[in-house]
Structure 1
Amino acid sequence: MPAETPAPASLDLTADPVAITRAICDIPSESGEERVLADLIEQALAGASHLEVVRDGDAIVARTNLGRARRVVIAGHIDTVPINGNVPTRFETDPDGTEYLWGRGTVDMKAGVAVQLKLALELAEPIVDLTWMWYDHEEVSAALNGLGRLAANRPDLFEGDFAILGEPSNGQVEGGCNGTLRAEVRATGLRAHSARSWVGENAIHKLSPALAKLAAYEAETVEVDGLAYREGLNAVIVRGGIAGNVIPDEAVLEVNYRFAPSKSAAEAAEFVTSFFDGYEVTVVDSADGARPGLDDPLAQEFVRAVGAEPRPKYGWTDVARFSALGVPAVNFGPGDPLKAHADDERVAVHQIVDGERALRAWLTGAA
């Protein structure tokens, strides 16, 4: 496996957005290990006279206070899922001539963060006031999410008329997001020696009806505010058994439900509990989705300015946090979402360049 590139002494945010993407991707920042990158971001923006810089843990906020009539919040997370031999980054070119930047974080979502960092430093006179947010712990439990912590500690920083999250969207605008829920479906039995299995009750076998029902289930596609959100209910983990010669007395099936933003997390929990009627069901993690918010005038203006076609966001993203605060929010960033978390994660170079150009044009009134 290639050696990791040592962290640089500083970040050059005057470089082109592709170079910035490569620089921050080559700084490992798996969830819980964001401190080095957060320090460099804070240092790189500290000298910008048009920005007020605030730090909360490993979340960095930079905002203008120009007295504009409207404020836009633009956010991105700086952590990644674990590295698996895909750092340092490198360039690849497909047979069709498309150039890619390959490596962990290029899609999810350091290319989007790089675009934001460059614009934050350079746009001293945007047509709206701007609040930039770069935060930690997005790729782990919702309870650890840096944006959630920031909202609890500094809710005033979330005041705005519209929000953009730089999640990968292939350079298109993805409105809202599905909600997500994880639940444990538990079966109990009676432990016994496997040589005399008839005197026990096999808890793993008792999960068979639940698994058969899941396999036969056809998830819905739900239209919300003109966008079609595809749902999903799937087994993701099965646990049970203590030894090769013991009939298990407990087995747990963990399921993940991705539900349309027309449902609340409470309604999703009711559905999953009913679906697995007869089993003990425990919801272990859940988060509401977000409606598209594309009926907001600022959202419509943004979509027109970047020339994008609105689409639904199937995965959960932190747009839901803004939506819960009454701030309409969309996802907009370079990178194919299907490559997020993949070992061959890579972003088309032109998407980084195009995304920076489009966002700059909108924020300066040149679009």
Structure 2
Amino acid sequence: MTPTRQATVRLTQFAHGGGCACKIPPGELEEVVSGLTVPQLAGGDTPLLVGLATGDDAAVVTLPGRPGTAVVCTADFFTPVVDDPYDWGRIAAANALSDVYAMGGRPVLAVNLLAWPRDRLPFELAREVLRGGLDIATEAGCHVGGGHSVDDPEPKYGMAVTGVADPERLLRNDTGRPGLPLSLTKPLGLGVLNNRHKVTGERFAQAVATMTALNRDAAEAALAAGATCATDVTGFGLLGHLHKLAKASGVTAVLDTAAVPYLEGAREAVRDGFVSGGTRRNLEWVAPWTGFGSTDADTRLLLADAQTSGGLLVAGEVPGAPVVGELVPYDGSHTIVLE
């Protein structure tokens, strides 16, 4: 791709939202799936270990005749989060692979999911997006075997990923217990920096580096430390994903707001008003279950910031990751308490 073409096309201007901030709001999504039940299929030789019930990061099923192997399946795609097509492809692929890592799995096969406005954007840009995705999957040791594409007014890209895991050593969002510390493996602030990039064109290398970093090492470290409970922090923000983990585990999470790490420039982006609608909806959704205490408004927004390809939130200590809180017995009214 020529530098001239890349400089003249701003992909973020072709999307109504950016990255995981374009997800359907969690409260609305809960209403959509609330009436759905997972049937018990005849035969019973491939039991579903993780499904819809707790809103975990991926589905997990065991293989017939292979009791020590589980299959992990997920799909994730979104609108452009940055203007550079190669970087967007890398970010989207790392984000999709993260769901497998968040379950304690290893990705083995991915297929591309591409929506492209063929009459508005040149296909040379789509090629760069796919190249970015391929490079990240290759770094992860994951095959890419084709995919599916549609003509769409708005560009979207991601992957459907299949991985494998030990069914006895999964990371789930419903296995937290009182007394466990909470570790966060990437800093927050991706959403507000991406929104600033979309509005102003400013490029934040620290955000791109964070979003393209695989969660592989963090997942391996969590498993090695004996963790069984984790989730990744993406479109619902730290508070949203922590609420789901605490609710599924029947505990309350006490969050030490002073210990939470942020990317350089994140607080300034909030101060200057670069907060997405997705972030504000996240905060509104978790508010009824959260004891905010004296936490200021900007910090609340950062804690609810809609992350794209964020880190893992692990119930347990992970070497090198800050401890940002702990799980305690459910207090009867809050899933999260901020201190």
Q: Which band: TM-score by shorter chain?
A: under 0.3
Higher helix share: 2
Give 1 or 2 for the bigger CA radius of gyration: 1
